[in-house]
């Protein structure tokens, strides 16, 4: 098992708001573990406490209680922070600067020499795909290009750990793909990436491990293959040339029946029931077009855990109260 480079123990943040100083628990008893070389997805709906957690990790917000460590040192350690790169949610840069100027500016803030920057800036611009647009002012960039420029500035000091807060939020599919590609390239270079998101398909596509934050508490953490149910959530069977009597029987046993070309599309909640239907169809001489097993997705896990914790309505509840 690889080395843990970011850990928290009982990390908690409470705010007091309004004239009555009402207490709001943003993050409660958070235990995280991010290991070297992995892509860690920090999931949660808007308002779950993801950005508050990240601000505590990078030193922008002081925890109410609990501890956090970077590379085995307290998060207040300057030596540890020098190995950290950070992109906030919705970053704002001086838009009269070019991407090249932005990187030189942030590089000098990090104490890099002109010689180091002369080598590092072109390499980072190539990494994020901005070489051709390097000398255009940022005001002419799309949001996806600004995000990529932001990732480049997070990498200017060659950090070992990169923390990205909602890097794909508000991007179109092309912009999201560009950011995913950059994250993959960072992993290939040996970086560790910790990023928050509520865009579940992106997380499912690229992460080694995930943590699910709901209501300020970590509800799940682990590898996707360990968290997601191995069994089929539903099975779709499409068949043609079904004898009328068998079609009527299967329609009673299926959870959903839809016409499909000259046949039927049957959905079964249980794999065993679907297997019996396929056997009956084959025995009756029907032509089986396809059998598709739907496994639990990250979205299914997310909704299930939100329902279990009372933070989401059960599916179908909207119809019940309409």
- Other C-beta atoms lying within 10 Å of the C-beta of residue 186: 22
Which pLDDT score, from 0 to 100, does residue 230 have? 57
Do residues 210 and 302 make contact, with C-beta atoms less than 8 angstroms apart? no
Helix (H, G, I), strand (E, B) or coil at 7: strand
Which pLDDT score, from 0 to 100, does residue 321 have? 32
Structure confidence by residue, pLDDT tens digits, 300-312 = 788 888 888 776 5
Which pLDDT score, from 0 to 100, does residue 234 have? 85
Tokens of 178: 């560009």
CA dihedral 139, 141, 143, 146 (to 10 degrees): -90
Which pLDDT score, from 0 to 100, does residue 228 have? 76
d(CA 63, CA 42): 18
d(CA 246, CA 254): 12
d(CA 94, CA 82): 23
Which pLDDT score, from 0 to 100, does residue 24 have? 87
Helix (H, G, I), strand (E, B) or coil at 237: strand
CA distances from 253 to 247, 257, 260 (A): 10, 10, 18
Which pLDDT score, from 0 to 100, does residue 322 have? 32
Each of the 322 residues of the chain gets a pLDDT tens digit; together they read: 678 999 999 999 999 888 888 888 899 999 999 999 999 999 988 888 999 999 999 999 999 999 999 999 999 999 999 999 999 988 889 999 999 999 999 999 999 999 999 999 999 999 888 999 999 999 999 988 998 999 999 999 999 999 999 988 778 888 888 889 989 999 998 999 999 988 888 888 889 999 999 989 999 898 887 887 655 578 999 999 999 999 999 999 999 999 988 899 999 988 889 999 999 999 999 999 999 887 777 887 888 888 887 765 444 443 333 3
Tokens of 177: 């793909």
Which pLDDT score, from 0 to 100, does residue 229 have? 66
Q: What domains, with CATH codes, occur in the chain?
A: 4-227 (3.40.50.300), 232-295 (3.30.70)
Do residues 4 and 35 make contact, with C-beta atoms less than 8 angstroms apart? yes
Which pLDDT score, from 0 to 100, does residue 257 have? 93
Q: In which residue are the tokens 């799940």 written?
A: 220
Residues counted in the chain: 322
Whether pTM > 0.85 for this model: the answer is no
Structure confidence by residue, pLDDT tens digits, 163-188 = 999 988 778 888 888 889 989 999 99
Which pLDDT score, from 0 to 100, does residue 315 have? 47
- Other C-beta atoms lying within 10 Å of the C-beta of residue 54: 23
Which pLDDT score, from 0 to 100, does residue 61 have? 93
Which pLDDT score, from 0 to 100, does residue 317 have? 41
Please list the helix, strand and coil fractions of the chain in percent, rounded to the nearest 5, in that order.
Answer: 35, 30, 30
């Amino acid at each position: 098992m690889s080395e843990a480079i970011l850990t928290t123990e009982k990390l908690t943040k409470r705010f007091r708001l309004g004239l009555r100083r009402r207490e709001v628990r943003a993050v409660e008893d958070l235990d995280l573990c991010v290991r070297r070389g992995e892509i860690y997805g920090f999931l949660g709906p808007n308002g779950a406490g993801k950005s508050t957690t990240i601000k505590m990790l990078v030193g922008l917000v002081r925890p109410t209680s609990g501890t956090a460590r970077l590379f085995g040192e307290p998060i207040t350690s300057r030596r540890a922070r020098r190995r950290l790169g950070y992109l906030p949610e919705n970053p704002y840069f001086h838009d009269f600067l070019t991407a090249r100027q932005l990187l030189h500016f942030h590089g000098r803030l990090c104490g890099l020499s002109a010689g180091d920057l002369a080598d590092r800036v072109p390499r980072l611009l190539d990494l994020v795909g901005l070489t051709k647009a390097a000398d255009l002012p940022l005001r002419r960039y799309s949001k996806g290009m600004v995000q990529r420029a932001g990732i480049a500035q997070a990498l200017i000091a060659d950090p070992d750990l990169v923390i990205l807060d909602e890097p794909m939020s508000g991007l179109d599919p092309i912009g999201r793909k560009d950011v995913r590609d950059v994250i993959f390239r960072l992993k290939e270079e040996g970086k560790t990436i910790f990023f928050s998101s509520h865009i579940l398909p992106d997380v499912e596509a690229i992460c080694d491990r995930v943590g699910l934050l709901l209501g300020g508490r970590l509800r799940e953490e682990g590898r996707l293959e360990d968290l997601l149910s191995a069994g089929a959530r539903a099975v779709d069977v499409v068949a043609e040339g079904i004898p009328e009597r068998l079609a009527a029987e299967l329609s009673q046993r299926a959870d959903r029946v839809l016409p499909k070309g000259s046949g039927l599309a049957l959905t079964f909640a249980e794999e065993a029931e679907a297997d019996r239907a396929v056997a009956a169809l084959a025995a009756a001489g029907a032509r089986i077009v396809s059998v598709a097993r739907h496994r639990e997705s990250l979205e299914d896990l997310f909704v299930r855990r939100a329902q279990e914790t009372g933070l989401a309505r059960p599916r179908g509840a909207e119809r019940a109260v309409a």
